[in-house]
Structure 1
Amino acid sequence: MHNMYPKKGRVILHVDMNSFYASVEMAYDSSLKGKPLAIAGNVEERRGIIVTCSYEARRYGVKTTMPLWEAKKLCPQLIVKSPDFDKYRKASLAMFDLLRQYTSLVEPVSIDEGYMDISGCHEIGSPIEIAKSIQQRILQTLDLPCSIGIAPNKFLAKTASDMKKPMGITVLRKRDVRDRLWPLKVTEMHGIGEKTGQKLESLGVRTIGDLAQANEVQLRHALGINGLKLRYRANGEDSREVDPDSIYEHKSVGNSTTLPHDSTNQKELLTIIHGLSEKVAVRLKRKGLAGQKIGITIRYKNRKTITRSKTLLNPITAHEEISEEAQALFKSNWNGDAVRLLGVTAFEVIEKQEAYKQLDLFSYQHEAKKEPLFSAMEKLQAKYGKKAVQKGLDYTHDSGTNLRAETSFSKDFLDPRH
């Protein structure tokens, strides 16, 4: 059995639950099995949006984020259910508890996926035997399907788990990268979205193989340090360790400024907070992060300093949302004295792609509808300057209580201490 494990290096599994929300619903109601099922918000309304769907529904062309009316047009017999996040969280916690029976080196990355380092598990069985055992036990005890990737690092394990769904087990070694990954389109690589793909294509990088051999100077100029990281990944390299404690990490991104003169002008102070929020949003976007808590710092003329923060129901990254939260905090905590310094900080930041939302879909749809607008604004501002197009602001309006019924499905939900 020792011969099936490398003498140097690691064996990493990536466990990815298949069509998780829909599968959990099927586990609770077996009559739904084998039928086209979608989870969506505002199921009574045509403007609802698909959160996820079963593989039976996908055969009809139904996709995540598709408007409900379009999905029903493609699949008239589609069964639609509202999300039940208590069920999903319970199933997720049970799944991770099962994984920890094999090794303590389990790193949740979202509600329905996680990494395992089984390098020291040769006494249990071979990597493939362990993967089969995990897959079968999750199916037998939770009635949920999953796919598992087996590889020497996180990137390849994640890539492998995507190769065969549902209920697949795929081994991907470094020596397989040239034949199995390099011919694929660069946009099929984990970690590359549409915008990054467009930038890479402008450099003549169309396949993962092209990226693996791309000019480092050009990549860094176009994508910053992330360009070099992606090239590294395209060559099958990834030095990240499986970190069980990553769910406890709390990081922050913030900006502050000392005012040119002490001020008691609320409109001026709110304008400064709005500007600081924009800087925080830009840094979050550049790093691919979202904040789960927004905080402000107020330093008065007498140098007394206070900090106040608010934990959000849902991670945010957009400039307007950060500004709204920060301004509301300022209004409720400023005592009216002259202000010397202001700061805005996003706390407990997580990777944007790992920020899963609990959607009652009012806010999901609201956010989805805003995305094309923000994208168009960014393009116009990039071409003609920031002042070319701006969203109107009302600094005197008190937004009051945040009524968005959303909840983060970030790693905090997987923290066993909760």
Structure 2
Amino acid sequence: MPPSSEKSASFESADVNSADRWDAPAIGLMDLDAFFASVEQLDHPDWRGKPVIVGGSPHKRGVVSTASYEARTFGVHSAMPSATAARLCPQAIWTSGSYARYKELSQNVMSILLDETPLVEQVSIDEAFFDVTPGRFSREHPIEICRRIQRRVAELGITCSIGLGVNKTVAKIASEREKPRGLTVVLPGSERRFLAPLPVEAMSGIGPSTAKVLHSFGIKTLGELSRANTARLEGALGVSGPRLIRRAGGLEVSVVSEAAAPSEAKSVSNERTFKEDLTDETEIRAAIRHISCIVGRRLRKNGLKGCTVTLKVKNSVSSSHTAQKTLSAMTDQEDQFGPVAEELLQEVWHNGQPVRLLGVGISGFDTGAQRPIQPALFDEQDLTPSDATRQGKKKTRSHRPPLSGVTDALKDKFGSDVIKYGRDLRFEDRISDTMPMGKNDV
């Protein structure tokens, strides 16, 4: 595990300190350093100073979730196939990880941020924006607040890096400037000079396809992007073009939302990576139903109902596609959203194409605004065979509780393996052990 000594830096010099006046918004981005691996080194003292990889097995099509800094010196990085990581660093210590433990420490870190400001926007288990603009909730200098956050996080046995600037774009890029234990400060008024020499790929929201478009216009740095022709980029990238130009010039105006309740998830999802690619449509659909059941159980366990169904299909490590559909009513029943996920398959997959990973997610939990709902007069799954075949006659509705409630109760009492459908048994030994890590997910 890295030592807990503090580093402090600015993109200009190492002399930036609280003597520098700060009369603008102050937004920080706190990023926990090699978080999962650092937690493992904290909990296993004999692993400290050694290469540690958290991820799925190299023998089960696993993927690296996090690599310690010792493992990174061998070229190992997150999202890398575990088989590749094992070749690069054969002496690494491997663990599949413990999401419950990571979540526990993450909540402790977020509590530290909340001690400083109520404006904390968690974007993942190990990353959060926070607003410490002078005069809003404290008269203390933002740099001193960031230093205190780093010291308190270090007391937990892990470390973090922080980027501090006037908006989210600057803070995010600054947080990645110096790791681990870095504090990179971009003083108000110096945003453009900080951003200008950086490649366009350094800015979030610019992926390979967008970068390719920008490169075709001869735009390779953020400085060049900030001076680009607005109309030209809007024609090529739509409304995001002008927005990218403003962000590249440091002109973004950011709002950090007040921290949501810990239980307030934005989505409930589950993913499964397969040891061998699926190519048969029947098997792929069975896998979607299998995953939908897991998601349905999680929804009910957390008392959530959603209306937006998302299907994710990954054909390779670097190729991923998603499709989405909004239902007319909220649900937590897989027999309602599962068939919709199956329908979405035709939008992101064609016959014979290999499927490495499948994911099903439910979102749209916001009940603040009532959605218009067209109630169904008859639910076909509730009809008797004779009812369903009669035309023009009133159909009767069964009042039996959903089967999911019965199976949930049995699994709660006797364990998740007490009941298994054929589709579950079909994939029992064909799933990678990579730990899914969704953002804002239950």
Counterpart residue number, 2:239? 225
C-alpha RMSD of the superposition? 4.1
Q: What is the CA–CA distance in structure 1 between the aligned matches of 2:231 and 2:66, rounded to whole Å? A: 40
Question: Of Structure 1 and Structure 2, which has the larger fraction of its residues in helix?
Answer: 1
Q: What is the TM-score when the length of structure 1 is the normalising length?
A: 0.63
Residue 94 (structure 1) aligned with residue 123 (structure 2): no
Q: What is the CA–CA distance in structure 2 between the aligned matches of 1:122 and 1:239, rounded to whole Å? A: 19
Q: What is the TM-score when the length of structure 2 is the normalising length?
A: 0.59
Q: What is the CA–CA distance in structure 2 between the aligned matches of 1:399 and 1:230, rounded to whole Å? A: 49
> Kindly tell me: are residues 4 and 177 of structure 1, through their superposed partners in 2, closer, same or farther at Cα, counting changes over 3 Å?
closer
> Kindly tell me: are residues 46 and 13 of structure 1, through their superposed partners in 2, closer, same or farther at Cα, counting changes over 3 Å?
same
Q: Deviations over 1:244-298 (max 9, x none)?
A: 25675869xxxxxxxxxxxxxxxxxx9xxxxxxxx9889xxxxx9979x96544x
Q: Do the aligned partners of 1:95 and 1:138 also contact (CA within 8 Å) in 2?
A: yes
Counterpart residue number, 1:320? 345
Q: Deviations over 1:124-171 (max 9, x none)?
A: 63222111111011011x211100011111111111111111100011
SS of residue matched to 2:31: strand
Give % identity.
32
Counterpart residue number, 2:205? 191
Residue 16 (structure 1) aligned with residue 31 (structure 2): yes
> Kindly tell me: are residues 69 and 97 of structure 1, through their superposed partners in 2, closer, same or farther at Cα, counting changes over 3 Å?
same
Cα distance, 1:399 vs structure 2: 9.8
Aligned-partner residue type, residue 36 of structure 1 = P
Residue 235 (structure 1) aligned with residue 249 (structure 2): yes
Q: Deviations over 1:290-349 (max 9, x none)?
A: 79x96544xxxxxxxx76455899xx99942989979xxx998485589xxxxxxxxxxx
Counterpart residue number, 1:390? none
> Kindly tell me: are residues 321 and 66 of structure 1, through their superposed partners in 2, closer, same or farther at Cα, counting changes over 3 Å?
farther
Aligned-partner residue type, residue 66 of structure 1 = M
Q: Deviations over 1:12-34 (max 9, x none)?
A: 11111111111111111121111
Cα distance, 1:107 vs structure 2: 1.1
Counterpart residue number, 2:22? 5
SS of residue matched to 2:164: strand
Counterpart residue number, 2:170? 156
Q: What is the CA–CA distance in structure 1 between the aligned matches of 2:190 and 2:149, rounded to whole Å? A: 24
Number of residue pairs matched? 306
Counterpart residue number, 1:34? 49
Q: What is the CA–CA distance in structure 1 between the aligned matches of 2:73 and 2:177, rounded to whole Å? A: 17
Q: What is the CA–CA distance in structure 1 between the aligned matches of 2:55 and 2:190, rounded to whole Å? A: 39
Q: Do the aligned partners of 1:2 and 1:122 also contact (CA within 8 Å) in 2?
A: no
Alignment gaps of 5+ in structure 2: 1-17, 268-284, 286-308, 313-319, 349-357, 362-377, 392-420
Match of 2:184 among 170, 177, 184: 170
Q: What is the CA–CA distance in structure 2 between the aligned matches of 1:57 and 1:4, rounded to whole Å? A: 40
Counterpart residue number, 1:384? none
Counterpart residue number, 2:439? 410
Q: What is the CA–CA distance in structure 2 between the aligned matches of 1:80 and 1:234, rounded to whole Å? A: 39
> Kindly tell me: are residues 27 and 150 of structure 1, through their superposed partners in 2, closer, same or farther at Cα, counting changes over 3 Å?
same
Q: Do the aligned partners of 1:289 and 1:317 also contact (CA within 8 Å) in 2?
A: no
Counterpart residue number, 1:114? 128
Counterpart residue number, 2:40? 25
Q: What is the CA–CA distance in structure 2 between the aligned matches of 1:33 and 1:157, rounded to whole Å? A: 30
Q: What is the CA–CA distance in structure 2 between the aligned matches of 1:153 and 1:289, rounded to whole Å? A: 30
> Kindly tell me: are residues 334 and 18 of structure 1, through their superposed partners in 2, closer, same or farther at Cα, counting changes over 3 Å?
farther
Q: Do the aligned partners of 1:52 and 1:63 also contact (CA within 8 Å) in 2?
A: yes
Q: What is the CA–CA distance in structure 1 between the aligned matches of 2:124 and 2:43, rounded to whole Å? A: 22
SS of residue matched to 2:247: helix
Counterpart residue number, 1:382? none
Counterpart residue number, 1:84? 98
> Kindly tell me: are residues 408 and 81 of structure 1, through their superposed partners in 2, closer, same or farther at Cα, counting changes over 3 Å?
closer
Residue 216 (structure 1) aligned with residue 245 (structure 2): no
> Kindly tell me: are residues 186 and 123 of structure 1, through their superposed partners in 2, closer, same or farther at Cα, counting changes over 3 Å?
closer
Counterpart residue number, 2:296? none
Q: What is the CA–CA distance in structure 2 between the aligned matches of 1:38 and 1:308, rounded to whole Å? A: 38
SS of residue matched to 2:116: coil
Cα distance, 1:79 vs structure 2: 1.2
Counterpart residue number, 1:179? 193
Q: Do the aligned partners of 2:56 and 2:96 also contact (CA within 8 Å) in 1?
A: yes
Match of 1:129 among 144, 161, 182: 144
SS of residue matched to 1:214: coil
Q: Which has the larger radius of gyration?
A: 2
